[in-house]
A and B are shown apart, each in its own frame.
Chain A
Amino acid sequence: MSDGYLLQNLSIRIGERQIVDDISFSLAPGEIVALAGASGAGKSMSAMTPFGLSAGKASGSAMFDGTELVGLSESELSKVRAEKVGFVFQQPLTALTPHRTVRQHLSEAAMQAGGASPDKAAMVAMLEAVGLTRPDERLAQYPHRLSGGERQRVLIAAALAHGPRYLVADEPVSALDAALRGEIMALLVRLCRERDMAMLLVSHDLAGIEHHADRLLLLDQGRVIESGSARQIATAPATDYGKRLMAATPRLSEPLAELPVTGEIILETEKVTVTFPKPGWQRGRIGAVVDADLSLARGETLALVGGSGSGKSTLGRAIAGLGPMASGTIRWQGDALPQREHRSTEHRRLIQPVFQDPVASLDPRWSVTDIILEPVKFLATIASPPEANGYVEKLLQEVGLPPDFAIRKPASLSGGQAQRVAIARALSANPDMLLLDEATSALDPLVADGVVELFGRLQRERGLSLLFITHDLALARRAAHRIAVMEAGRIVECASREELFTSPRAEATKRLIAASG
């Protein structure tokens, strides 16, 4: 077989560390194969290293259209890349050179295989093929003028400019908004089908790839755990790891799980508006959140869903007293909560936050014990002052960590462990409500699922109310009683999860549902 890409017993090391251990797979012309798995599973390494685009050293065999890639020199590899392969990377914000126009990017990409510089009509056609509007204007623009989705389209156009037969896409959509992800994935698949191009797709988002890939390989710790047709693995995984991974990935099609019963309304917001000064020298202010009305009952989970920039985090922070508020009222059991600066320690105790980036939300110089006890020190209105030692251990146990973590420093924690410490800190002053600001989106699927489960358990045991901010509609459907959809600073719809999916009213909701399906 001379055509196609065939990896056999490929192993990759960086220094002494074995990153990828003995994997084999093939990619036939026109086929789409996805590599999936948790971070650190070796997916990007397996995709990039044979082409010389990583720090790893490959051994084994990687036959590419009849050429053995393992052992080729850098200049020979560069020739293979330039002639036959296109690459799409994760970060559309940084993968384009800021000082070069779209036209320069495209002509450079087109000429890398030795061809002539394409004329304007050809470049316009390239941009049209990736679905960019007003392509002739775009050619003269610099990357900073384009949105994230537009940049990713330009990157795809550049990757295809020299007419490659293979495309390697490393997490091509994970830096994009939920609504855009589906669009870009569909575009990549359509381009592959039209041009009879093969694609090697690297992604950690199982729900996103199962409809697009022909075949799927699950990787864990540098080994292939399971491989086969994408649909089959997605619906009926054979291995234990596959089953756990599938169960951890929320889907819109899954049956609704039981959620705890809720009590009386404790938090209400009325016409909450947050404005920021316009950037630069412009006068006036921008409304980041406009007239937001919400309510939250005791023991209830309310998901706040929307794209990036929709104002969901800003609203959450205004409610928790961690951000500014221009006008409106936030009421806790009927009493108005004051502005950020005027919240008393009792007000602060009511609502505690958990943030997205678990590592950055712990002070690197503090021990886990000090971190967890920080709220207790300032908000200690709880009846009996906690005995210094036993309390920390009890909280650690409650969030599922062993007691000897108390003396650790954040640097020695994994992402999931750090997030659990952050949750223990949020719980230590005995709050009534948690603000979860994308609290699971920086975590791997299995770890994130564990944290979501933990939130459910805490809610049942402590009667906590949760404001669950997320961009993932399927996750919101799994975890929340009610879902509020935000767009451009406004809450466009708020309904129970059953109602929202059976009869969505707002356009934004319909778009989100379509993109998540």
Chain B
Amino acid sequence: MKPALIIVALIALAALLVPPLLPYDHIAIDWDSVRVGLFTDGHLLGTDDLGRDRLARLLVGTRVTVSVALAAALVALVIGVTWGAIAGWVGGRTDELMMRIVDGLYALPFMFVVILLMVVFGRSILLVFLGIGFVEWLTMARVVRGQVIALKQRPFVLAAEAAGSPARATLLRHILPNVAGVAVAYLMLTVPQVVMIESFLSFLGLGVQEPLTSLGILVNEGAEEMDMHPAALLLPGGVLVALIACLTIAGERFRDRLADAAK
């Protein structure tokens, strides 16, 4: 779990801190060196066919992808935990209704929803992560609801009732803290999924808009010129793979550790 998290942290720190230190930003066009190779004229990774610094674009793209993923995962966390906790805690008809709504939303084709949002409201980075968060909270709600129902039957919840604890206090002070671990583990698994979805949308041209960039856009651009500049595809692709693999590994380890602790 630790090495994976360290790799993620290094990538995130580089994306956050390095761009201001570079001589070029991700938009500036260097007319003197268009489409140059690695290590030329102060461009460590060369430039693209508009003469923009590839390193700056890679780092900014990573930053955009990671922040969209984090924001969307947080949206999913907030909505999912609230929805799932209420459904599981109240139970009965309310639970039935709330979970059938979740099932209904599951059945909507996700791409269709996102494209529709884009068409109606125009393209914006806000819409991208709203759209993704809109889908990802469904699974979170199911996971949390299951946990809450299992916890509700534990004797300490009954003891809290006997202690005169009002339902709200029991939910906030007994149930939610015990759900937190599972929710965080699931959050850690959601982030790489969102990274993937965001890159996929951007790859298709539905994600963030030029001149802003993201890993998906860079992979798309890189794929077009991979015969001439393999690094243009391999580098953003590599960062993408490293992020997804490390976050998934860390999330799964964390989940397993929780399961062990529960035994």
A contact set with B: CB distance below 8 Å? 317, 320-322, 345, 348-349, 351-353, 355-357, 360-365, 374-375, 377-379, 422, 425-426, 429
Contact = CB atoms under 8 A, between A and B. Distances in A.
B165 A378 contact: yes
A349 B156 contact: no
Contacts of A365: 177-178
Given A364-B178, A365-B178, A379 B164 contact: yes
Specify which of A361, A363, A375, A379 lies most central, judged by the most chain B CB atoms within 10 Å of its CB: A363
5 pairs of A and B residues whose beta carbons are closest in the complex:
A378-B164, A361-B155, A375-B163, A355-B155, A348-B164
Contacts of B178: 363-365
A90 to B, nearest CB: 18
Q: Is the interface of B mostly helix, strand, loop or mixed?
A: helix
Contacts of A426: 162
A357 B156 CA distance: 10
Given A363-B174, A363-B178, A374 B163 contact: yes
Given A355-B158, A362-B156, A363-B156, A429 B177 contact: no
B119 interface: no
Interface in B131-166: 154-156, 158-166
B221 to A, nearest CB: 49
A322 B160 CA distance: 10
B114 to A, nearest CB: 38
Contacts of A356: 155
A378 B163 contact: yes
Contacts of B154: 360-361
A322 B163 contact: no
Interface residues of B, number: 16
16 contacts: A321-B162, A322-B161, A351-B162, A353-B158, A355-B155, A360-B154, A360-B155, A361-B154, A361-B155, A363-B156, A363-B160, A363-B177, A364-B178, A365-B178, A374-B159, A374-B163
A319 B155 CA distance: 16
A425 B177 contact: no
Nearest to A410: B156
Contact of B159 (A321, A345, A422): A422
A352 B156 contact: no
Interface in B166-195: 166, 169, 174, 177-178
Contact of A357 (B155, B161, B162, B177): B155
Nearest to A343: B164
A370 to B, nearest CB: 9
B159 A355 contact: yes
B164 A349 contact: yes
A353 B158 CA distance: 9
Nearest to A357: B155
Contact of B162 (A348, A362, A364, A377): A348
Nearest to A323: B158
A322 B162 contact: yes
B158 A374 contact: no
Given A360-B154, A360-B156, A361-B156, A320 B162 contact: yes
A425 B155 contact: no
Contacts of B164: 345, 348-349, 375, 378-379, 429
B165 A425 contact: no
Specify which of B154, B160, B163, B165 lies most central, judged by the most chain A CB atoms within 10 Å of its CB: B163
B153 to A, nearest CB: 9
Contacts of B155: 355-357, 360-361
A348 B177 contact: no
Contacts of A351: 162
A373 to B, nearest CB: 9
Contacts of B165: 374, 377-378
Specify which of B155, B161, B165 lies most central, judged by the most chain A CB atoms within 10 Å of its CB: B155
B160 to A, nearest CB: 7
A351 B158 CA distance: 13
Contacts of A320: 162
A320 B161 CA distance: 10
B156 A322 contact: no
Contacts of A322: 158, 161-162
Contacts of A425: 159, 163
Contacts of B156: 360-363
A352 B162 CA distance: 6
Nearest to B154: A360
A374 B177 contact: no
A272 B108 CA distance: 50
B177 A353 contact: no
A353 B177 CA distance: 23
Nearest to B166: A378
A135 B242 CA distance: 61
Contacts of A375: 162-164
B174 A353 contact: no
A374 B161 contact: no
Contacts of B159: 353, 355, 361, 374, 422, 425
A348 B163 contact: yes
A80 to B, nearest CB: 32
Contacts of B162: 320-322, 348, 351-353, 375, 426
Nearest to B151: A363
Contacts of B169: 378
A173 B160 CA distance: 34
Contacts of A377: 163, 165
Contacts of A345: 164
Contacts of A349: 164
Contacts of B158: 317, 322, 353, 355, 361
Given A317-B158, A422-B159, 18 more contacts: A320-B162, A321-B162, A322-B158, A322-B162, A349-B164, A355-B159, A360-B154, A360-B155, A360-B156, A361-B156, A365-B178, A374-B159, A374-B165, A375-B162, A377-B163, A378-B169, A379-B164, A429-B164
Contacts of A364: 178
A295 to B, nearest CB: 22
Contacts of A360: 154-156
Nearest to B175: A363
B157 to A, nearest CB: 8
A317 B161 CA distance: 11
Contacts of A361: 154-156, 158-159
A379 B174 CA distance: 18
